[in-house]
Every structure is written in structure tokens, then in C-alpha cells.
Amino acid sequence: MKKNSFDDMDIGDILDVMGCRTRREIINLLRIEPRFVSQISKELEIGQKAIIEHLRAMEDLGILKSSFKKIERGRPRKYYDMSRDITVNIIINQNLFEVDISEEALQRKQLPSGEEWSKLLDVEQRIRMGQWEALEELKSLLRLYTNLKNRAENILSEIEGYSEEE
């Protein structure tokens, strides 16, 4: 059964996923761009059957989504990608133990500082100097900026909807 809302997510399941190094490595790869099973298997040097089990568990939980894409030759490939942003806040101190994965946690996200522009300029400069490995960093930054833009647009839509009701 796939879970689609934060209310359906079990905190224990989220923590179990994040407690597994292989699953964290898979998430880190998919954070950059969608991939299919054999790509993930090759990059992590782990058998495809094990990768499939990890992907299935994370997709069932709602952390990942999959889609089929046609390729020029052969049958369509099943690609995996992050389904949405998930923010997990864990507070542990003498007076409190709390794990929060609610929508409210997403709304408390902080926007990146002006340092993000410096990172982008640094990556751009390295690419222009022929350091092609910086392309992966550029893809990662682009994903971050896209997520921030989408979040800002959602906030704006909520505010505009709220002011129209008044």
C-alpha cells in the first residue's frame, strides 16, 4: 500500500529508512536525478535484487515514486525519483523526545542563505575551467533552486487565496 500524505507516514518507518546506509545512498543519488535500477546498482556496487527491495520499501512508504520511460530500443525502463520533500525534525534533550514529519515541519524550512549564490558562481567557474565533475554539483543546485521556487509559488498561492476570501 502506497502512502501519499504526511499523516499516513509512520515515524518509525521513516527512521528505519534513514537508519539504513544503502537507502540513504540511494536517496542521495536520486536527489540529483531520476535513475533506473541497473544505474543505481552499478553506482553503488550492490546487486540489483537488493536495490529493488530497497526501492520498493521506499516507494511503498511514499518517499520515492516511479515512472516508466520509453527508450529507443527495448522495453520501457522504470525510473525512480524523489516523490516530494520530507523534513524530519528530531528533538532530543533532558525534557523532550520528539520526532516531527508533519506539513508544519515543511513550512518551517529555512531558505538558503546568500552563500548559495557563491556556490553557484564557484561551480560555474569550475565548469568553465573544464572541471566537468562540477556538473553534478550544478544539477544538485538546480534541483534545490527548483524546490525553493516551487515552495515559494505554493506560499504565494496560499496567500493570494487567503486574501481573496477576505
The conformation of residue 63, written as its DSSP 8-state character, comes to S
Contact present, 63 and 13 (Cβ < 8 Å) = no
As a whole number of angstroms, the distance between CA 69 and CA 104 comes to: 34
Determine the pLDDT at residue 96.
Answer: 80
As a whole number of angstroms, the distance between CA 60 and CA 65 comes to: 9
Determine the pLDDT at residue 8.
Answer: 57
Determine the pLDDT at residue 47.
Answer: 96
Contact present, 59 and 65 (Cβ < 8 Å) = yes
Positions of the chain with pLDDT lower than 70, given as ranges? 1-9, 102-118, 162-166
Q: pTM value?
A: 0.55
Question: What percentage of the chain exceeds 90 in pLDDT?
Answer: 21
Mean pLDDT, the chain, integer: 79
- Strands (DSSP E) contained in the chain are 35-36, 64-69, 77-82, 89-93, 96-100
With CA atoms as reference, report the closest residue to 137 among 32, 28, 24.
Answer: 32
Cβ count within 10 A of residue 62? 20
Query: What are the structural domains of the chain?
Result: 6-82 (1.10.10.10), 110-165 (no CATH)
Determine the pLDDT at residue 32.
Answer: 84
Residues in the chain: 166
pLDDT tens, 65-78? 998 887 778 788 89
With CA atoms as reference, report the closest residue to 51 among 32, 19, 25, 77.
Answer: 25
